[in-house]
Chain A
Amino acid sequence: MNTGTFLALFGAVLATALAGVGSAWGVGMAGQAAAGVVAEDPDQFAKVLILQLLPGTQGIYGLLVTFITLSRIGILGGSPVADTATGLAYLFACLPIAIVGLISAYHQGKTSVASIGVVAKKPDQFGKAMLFPAMVETYAILALLISILAVTNIG
Chain B
Amino acid sequence: MKDNYVYAVARIRVKEKTLLTDADIASLAGMSDVNSVMGYLSDRGWGTADTDKDPDAMLAAEEQKNLDLMRELKIDPSVFDILSYPQIFHNLKSAIKQVCTAEDYSQIGIFYDLEKYGGREMVRIIQEKDYNALPESMRQVAQDAFETMLSTRDGQLCDIMVDRACLMAMTEAGRKEKNKVIRDYVRSQVSIADIRIAVRAERCGKSADFLKKALAPSEDFNCSQLAAAASRGEEDLLKFLSGNGFGGASEALGKSLSAFECWCDNQQIEAIKPQKRVITSIGPVVAYYLARENEIRTVRIILTAKANGFSEDSIRERVREMYV
Binds B, one of A12-20, A34-42, A84-92: A34-42
* Centre residue among A37, A110, A120, A121 by max chain B CB count within 10 A: A120
Given A114-B279, A117-B279, is A40 in contact with B14 using a C-beta cutoff of 8 Å?
A: yes
Contact in complex: B10, A37 (CB < 8 Å): yes
Given A113-B279, A113-B280, A117-B279, decide whether A36 and B17 contact each other with a Cβ distance below 8 A: no
Q: How many residues of B contact A (CB 8 A)?
A: 15
Contact with B along A101-133 (1 / 0, CB 8 A): 000000000100110110011000000000000
Pick from A29, A110, A121: contact of B17, CB under 8 Å: A121
Question: Shortest beta-carbon distance, A42 to chain B, in Å?
Answer: 10
Interface flags, B1-15, vs A, CB<8A=1, else 0: 000101111111111
What number of residue pairs across chains A and B have CB atoms under 8 A from each other?
52
- Is residue B16 contacting chain A, with contact meaning CB distance below 8 A? yes
> Are A37 and B13 neighbours in the complex by a CB distance under 8 Å?
yes
Instruction: Verify if A152 is at the interface (C-beta below 8 Å from B).
Output: no
Question: Which residues of B have CB within 8 Å of A121?
Answer: 13-14, 16-17
A33 within 8 A of B: yes
Which residues of the partner chain B approach A32 to less than 8 Å between Cβ atoms? 4, 6-7, 10
* Cβ contact within 8 Å between A33 and B9: yes
Q: Is the CB of B279 within 8 A of A36?
A: no
Give A contacts to B, CB under 8 Å. 29, 32-37, 39-41, 44, 110, 113-114, 116-117, 120-121
List B residues at the A interface (Cβ < 8 Å). 4, 6-17, 279-280
Q: Give 25 pairs: A residue, B residue, CB < 8 Å, sorted on A.
A: A32-B6, A32-B7, A32-B10, A33-B6, A33-B7, A33-B10, A34-B10, A36-B7, A36-B8, A36-B11, A36-B12, A36-B13, A36-B14, A37-B11, A37-B14, A40-B15, A41-B14, A113-B280, A114-B279, A117-B9, A117-B13, A117-B279, A120-B13, A121-B13, A121-B16
